[in-house]
Structure 1
Amino acid sequence: MSSGPAASADVVRWGSPAARGVLATTILGSGMAMLDGTIVNVALPRIGEELHASVAGLQWILDGYLLSLAALILIAGSLGDRYGRRRVFVIGVVWFGVASVLCGAAVSTEMLVATRVLQGIGGALLTPGSLAILQTAFAREDRARAIGAWSGLGGIAAAIGPLLGGVLVQLWSWRLAFLINLPLAVLCVWLASKYVPESCDDELQGRGRPNFGAAALGTVGLAGVTAALVEAPARGIGDPVVLAAGVAGLLGMAAFVRLQLRSAAPLVPPELFRDRTFTVSNALTFVVYAALGGVMMLMVMQLQVSLGYSPTAAGLAGLPITLIMLVFSGRSGGLAQRIGPRLQLVTGPLLIAAGMLLLLRVGPGASYLGSVLPAVAVFGLGLVIVVAPVTATVLAAAPDHHAGVASGVNNAIARSGGLLAIAVLPAIAGLSGASYTDPAALTAGWQRALLVCAGLAVAGGLLALGVRNNVLGGPEELPAAEDPRPGECLHCGVDAPPTHVRSAHHS
């Protein structure tokens, strides 16, 4: 892969045909992964019924995907920086499409969990590439706007997932929730080859192979902790399997951190976390996405089991979130760039928490207009306020040549938050075995989980008070005690030299 300065002709400007093509590619790729997650949520009751799955089985269907996604997304970001962000993105899209077909053909809970793990590997390869492509392809002054559009339109895929999932489940089977990804993957690969410029980190060329050992340790750490949390309610904390998994997980995580601190070429460069804004924004991401993961898993089940909604009706219940994301997400990213992200990063999680508390009224006999609609509207408003600014803030706080790694870190943290919430919340809610099929038990557990998730969202809003407000070019001056990194542009919060970008071969 050649190196050298980026040609100005390679820089994508907002409003151009190339910009629309790059946005369409990245939105379709990442949106496919987000769509799949929410479609699977609404299909869970039918999957459980057909495959005779327990609560632990349903947890593994969700967590198997999130586990491989979160564990491998860091190495995937590094692979993109090293070997080409478009190349790794396309490999991920193809892998995801093939694994989705295998998921649709599963005949048992165990087979579905295994194929979901494979699907997560594809998701790990394509997800950080989406943001890294935007960060390196667009002109610096257009990046926040591009990320805002990506967040909004990509977020619609996540929001529309329950509706589409409900329609597909009722049309034929939950298997369509996976098979729909194949045509989307084909279209995404074609768009990438036509519009997306290749880019890489020149500094990584000739440095040897990525740190696969660190990736393995991270995988063992997450897998062990997740297995212990999922299996403990059914087996008991003292069970040898639970204890062994927990110990292996904690040791794996400790070894991973130690290796990153000592390695000459770490998978996660420790210097990224020396920037307070990068660290705080990722901490906010963890707690907010943990809250979201827990609520989204249980809400569609609550609507179907306790309120008697059909899968399609349960999907339609979240339509206001889709509309709010569609109208306001792009504007949210632009507003953050004008006034700084801090205000939105504080108020967004607080509104999400308010929406969760309003969802406490969603129980047997509750009406849609009186209980569900106000809650999801407030929930969606908080979501649109926080998603684009936190993503743009994390990327802007990292040097350009670490765009893939920074995106991978943020995505890994977001997925890990959802992963651990799905593993822990059913136990906190008192759900185990087939108790999710009992409306009374599910409603009691749903309400307990909402209180926990609302607390997490509030914690995210408080964390945001530590974000540097001028990281996106806002008006606030950097405090004297916090010096910028060497070579950093004080105004924009990212390294000045652009990452090398090569032109795509247009068909």
Structure 2
Amino acid sequence: MGLGYSISMTDPTILSANISEIRAGLDMTSSTASFVASLATLALAAAVLGAGALGDLYGKKRLFVIGSVGAVVFNVVAATAPNSATLMVARAGAGVGFALLLGLSLAIVNDVFPPERRAAAISLYLGASFAFSAPQPAIGSLLAEHFGWRTGFLVAPVVAVITLLITLRYVPETPRAPRKPDLVGVGLVAVALLAIVYGISRLAEGLKPSALVPIIIGLIAAAGFVIRELRTPTPALDLHIFRSKSVSVAVSAGVTKNFLTGGCTILFAYYIVAIRGESPALLGLLLVPATILQAFAAIGSGRLADRIGNKSVLVIGLALLLAGLLVLTVLEKDSPMVVLFTAIVLICLGGAVVQTPQSTIMMSSAPPGLSGAVAALKSATGQAGYSLGPTLFALIGTAIFVQDGARKLAVSNITEEQAREALRVAHGGTESGSGGTNVLDPDRARAVVAAATDSMVDAIHTLSFIMAAVPIAAIILALVLLRPDKRSAPA
């Protein structure tokens, strides 16, 4: 199960890392390349809740096997794609396969293990997922660099074949729910998730119709889904589980974790490339040991939960996320790289620690016959949070940077055009040829570049302080709404 989960985590990363070579190889426009890079993620978001619901009806193992086969077939098609259209079809199909792997792996673990062993099994499953995920992006990038971009698509099929063989040999079939499929509900939630996640991804371009219209459509579909599920006798997802305070807190903690992980990844990359002038590959190198530590943290958090309870472990994980943000508030342009690495480790560890109690709480609250839908709900809400994080971090961070830059320009007698020209030249461009009043002397140009860098660092500090409110709110919710676990005294 951990192998299958790792495929859905790492394959989109491998594609994104090599998108420049893919774009050149298939002669794609930048907009087409951007769409291809996000297509599997969009398809996953649209299909993940439906995957869980259908797994409850037709067998989780059966659909997990189909997802593994899909990961093999569609990635091989992507590796041999002669044009961008074929690649788009392959990535959409792969996204559906990833949804089956992501949405059903946790549900299978939940169904196979008895309640007294479930928390330990979930922590081992998450630990294995992180451990298997650590090397795959590096392997994919190395293959693409030395043997061409097409070989990057072959990592997932190899892992999927191993996953398929192990599943067929060792994983038992899970119980099926004897009820009619709620195809209308599955369709509505697919439209809602697809439209909302796509609209959120377009918010980086501003509050334009290309972002707002999909979000509105998604919200309408989501409202229709809620109405449908409350009225139908055989819902794809029993929304009454949200009456449980524990489930609501677990969902909010998961969204917090994914929101901060996605947003902070953008901050890490921005700091390394734009402020330090280092290669983007440095972030990948820093993430490898952090991801390995996540594996140990996920396993350790399961054991810790057995001792002190899910509530305490959940709060510890959220506190680690908060600590990571606070480290970013003291990060300077010339700080030792260990400071950035500390922030990366804290964010990664916090996310791993949160996942184990979150998963345990949600799966223990799943109604009979709906474990697949509840597991998929965890994935769907997490996907939405992960998509929202980079967008909001970028929007708010850019606004802070622009406001600070405008304030500094106002007292420097340097026009916006002059500052823009100086920054463009400093980042590898040539003088625009407009000449005259838009060209600063070297000393003032250097001052503009230095001030811009300072503003970037200040923006990271301010943004990190603002975003610290998110884990603080989640911690308060957990402390107020979650009850301590009832545990028997040790023998």
CA pair 459-413 structure 1, distance change in 2 beyond 3 A: same
Which of these residues, 402, 427, 441, is aligned with residue 370 of structure 2?
402
* TM alignment of 1:494-505, pairs within 5 A: none
Deviation by residue 1:211-236 (Cα, 9 ceiling, x = unmatched) = 222222222223333444444554x6
Matched, 1:143 2:118: yes
* TM alignment of 1:475-486, pairs within 5 A: none
Post-superposition offset of 1:60: 4.4
Q: Which amino acid aligns with 1:180?
A: V
Deviation by residue 1:401-455 (Cα, 9 ceiling, x = unmatched) = 3221211111111112112334444333439xxx9x9996995676666455543
Deviation by residue 1:442-500 (Cα, 9 ceiling, x = unmatched) = 95676666455543333332332222332xx5369xxxxxxxxxxxxxxxxxxxxxxxx
- Whether contact under 8 Å (1:64, 1:114) holds in the other structure is no
CA distance in 2, matches of 1:194, 1:290: 37
CA pair 246-404 structure 1, distance change in 2 beyond 3 A: closer
- Whether contact under 8 Å (1:93, 1:189) holds in the other structure is yes
**Residue in structure 1 matched with residue 469 of structure 2 by the alignment:** 455
C-alpha root-mean-square deviation of aligned residues, in Å?
Answer: 3.4
CA distance in 2, matches of 1:41, 1:446: 24
- Whether contact under 8 Å (1:295, 1:453) holds in the other structure is no
What SS does the aligned partner of 2:370 have? helix
- Whether contact under 8 Å (1:68, 1:120) holds in the other structure is yes
Which of these residues, 217, 222, 225, is aligned with residue 256 of structure 1?
225
Matched, 1:335 2:349: no
Deviation by residue 1:84-112 (Cα, 9 ceiling, x = unmatched) = 11101010111122222344456777765
CA distance in 1, matches of 2:276, 2:144: 18
CA distance in 2, matches of 1:300, 1:166: 17
CA pair 48-378 structure 1, distance change in 2 beyond 3 A: farther
Which of these residues, 270, 273, 276, is aligned with residue 307 of structure 1?
276
Q: Which amino acid aligns with 2:487?
A: G
CA distance in 2, matches of 1:292, 1:131: 20
Structure of greater Rg? 2
Q: Which has the higher contact order (CA 8 A, sep 6+)?
A: 1
CA pair 246-282 structure 1, distance change in 2 beyond 3 A: closer
CA distance in 1, matches of 2:10, 2:95: 13
CA distance in 2, matches of 1:149, 1:243: 41
Which of these residues, 214, 223, 242, is aligned with residue 273 of structure 1?
242
Deviation by residue 1:251-294 (Cα, 9 ceiling, x = unmatched) = 11211111111111111112222222112211211122111122
Post-superposition offset of 1:53: 6.5
**Residue in structure 2 matched with residue 490 of structure 1 by the alignment:** none
Give the TM-score of the pair, scaled to structure 1: 0.76
Unaligned runs of 5+ in 2: 400-423, 429-448
Deviation by residue 1:4-60 (Cα, 9 ceiling, x = unmatched) = xxxxxxxxxxxxxxxxxxxxxx11111121122443454467667877765x77764
Deviation by residue 1:321-372 (Cα, 9 ceiling, x = unmatched) = 1332233321211221232111111121121122133245667554423x22
**Residue in structure 1 matched with residue 487 of structure 2 by the alignment:** 474
- Whether contact under 8 Å (1:320, 1:376) holds in the other structure is no
What SS does the aligned partner of 2:262 have? helix
**Residue in structure 2 matched with residue 13 of structure 1 by the alignment:** none
More helix by share: 2
**Residue in structure 2 matched with residue 119 of structure 1 by the alignment:** 94
Post-superposition offset of 1:309: 3.9
Post-superposition offset of 1:393: 1.6
- Whether contact under 8 Å (2:109, 2:122) holds in the other structure is yes
Post-superposition offset of 1:146: 0.9
CA distance in 1, matches of 2:169, 2:208: 56
CA pair 270-228 structure 1, distance change in 2 beyond 3 A: closer
Matched, 1:27 2:40: no
Q: Work out the percentage of aligned pairs sharing the same amino acid.
A: 28
CA distance in 1, matches of 2:461, 2:147: 32
What SS does the aligned partner of 2:167 have? helix
CA distance in 2, matches of 1:393, 1:120: 27
CA pair 381-237 structure 1, distance change in 2 beyond 3 A: closer
**Residue in structure 1 matched with residue 196 of structure 2 by the alignment:** 225
Q: Which amino acid aligns with 2:473?
A: A
Which of these residues, 453, 478, 483, is aligned with residue 464 of structure 1?
478
CA pair 231-324 structure 1, distance change in 2 beyond 3 A: closer
Matched, 1:387 2:355: yes
Give the TM-score of the pair, scaled to structure 2: 0.78
Q: Which amino acid aligns with 1:195?
A: Y
**Residue in structure 2 matched with residue 319 of structure 1 by the alignment:** 288
Q: Which amino acid aligns with 1:390?
A: Q
**Residue in structure 1 matched with residue 71 of structure 2 by the alignment:** 96
CA pair 147-200 structure 1, distance change in 2 beyond 3 A: same
